[in-house]
Amino acid sequence: MTSIVINIGNTNIRFGHFIDGKCDVSWIINTKPYGTRDELFAQFSMLYQTYNVDVEKVDKIIIGSVVPQLTHIISSALYKIHGIEAIVVDRKTHSPIHHKSNQMGTDIFANLVAAHFLYPNKKKIILDFGTALTASCVAEDGEVLGVIIAPGIITSLNSLVKQTAQLPEIELTKPKSVLGHDTVSCMTSGMVYGFLGMVEGFIDRINEEVNDECFVIATGGVSHVYQPLTNKIDIADKLHTLKGLYFLGKDK
């Protein structure tokens, strides 16, 4: 089975081309500005050509979204390409994950689902370095033990730059030292090691609260910056959320 899986986030929209459960290619576009159905149709068609996606072989389209105003228009653009109605999944979609929230975002729910299927028989923490920084925890039996939502790293950095007159935009990379000696190195250290301390604190406190050493997965936009800097993150997987959406929609 060949599927197109789409994660519509507040900052980016990630696409995955899945063949028999494996994502062979993935790409990202910016969530804003919103386009019309025809604009998105043209953009998606061009990207399909770029990544050698054979439209005729796609059997299923699965969408997860935290931007409701975009869900329908993207579904409509994809219908124009494939002639297939998209399957939209969310926290109400049947799965082995048990939660009590009426507010859980689809991305967080998909992260929990992917962790449950991919890393069974252990408690898991999923860190999502997206528009918001989230930490969610799931037990071995699929019970959701809780979620933390904090300001996202890029969101915080953009706010800092916009609210100050002399601080420049910077690239998030591993600092050469903890103590900086110019504005860029000082900001880089603050953003990288400051948020790394927060993330490690989340992991320690969650482990203490659930009385276990959880397996930790990192995903989302800048997870690749933070994962190499700590031994508290077991694996980084930029496709983790997409995999959760695939698990939710594959049998629908």
Please state, in angstroms and as integers, the Cα–Cα distance from residue 39 to each residue in 74, 78, 87, 180, following that order.
10, 11, 22, 45
Is residue 107 annotated as part of the catalytic site, yes or no? yes
Question: Which one of the listed residues 107, 234, 237, 251 is annotated catalytic?
Answer: 107
Q: How far apart are CA 32 and CA 48, in angstroms?
A: 20
Runs of H (alpha helix) within the chain: 37-50, 68-82, 106-118, 153-162, 183-210, 223-226, 240-249
DSSP letter, residue 230: -
Question: Which tokens hold the place of 124?
Answer: 């898991």
Please state, in angstroms and as integers, the Cα–Cα distance from residue 58 to each residue in 2, 5, 46, 62, 217, following that order.
5, 11, 16, 11, 29
Residues marked as catalytic:
107
